[in-house]
Amino acid sequence: MKIVAIGLLALLAAGSAGCGAAREAQQAAANAPTANVAGTWTGSAGTGGVFMPVTMTLAQTGTSVSGTISVGGRTDLSGPIKGTVQGELLNLTLPAVRLGQMMVKQQNTITGEVAGGMPVTLRRAQ
């Protein structure tokens, strides 16, 4: 019984440490210099071998972002978008749907999940 309790405590401690590290990474991304997200971004969204093309065109004024997004075959996830950028964190919404929080990496890649769990990777068009 004592060994089981020690094992459970070790698992809980490891899980807590992982959550703390993820929170620290998110805080560091929020405190980074404001990313420039203006431009056209292309890539895909999906999982399980089913991917849809994504095109996003953004304009940026300070930390405010606006533009359009087109997710292939998904009219519910396409249209005019608005949002904010804080450090490397980009938050976007459609009029009726919160797309979610994504991360801008090295100013030329956006990764994250949209609409509750669909992974997306976009690259800035040159």
- Kindly report, residue by residue over 72-95, the tens digit of the pLDDT: 888 888 999 999 999 999 999 999
Query: Do residues 82 and 65 lie in contact, with contact meaning Cβ atoms separated by under 8 Å?
Result: yes
12 band by pLDDT with thresholds 50, 70 and 90? very low
pLDDT in tens, 38-63: 999 999 998 888 889 999 999 999 99
pLDDT in tens, 103-113: 999 889 999 98
8 band by pLDDT with thresholds 50, 70 and 90? very low
From 32, 2, 8, select the one nearest 104 (Cα to Cα).
32
Task: Please provide the average confidence, as pLDDT, over all residues in the chain.
Answer: 82
Can you tell me whether residue 20 is helix, strand or coil? helix
Q: 116 pLDDT exceeds 80?
A: no
Q: In Å, what is the CA distance from 33 to each residue of 67, 75, 110, 115?
A: 22, 33, 15, 26
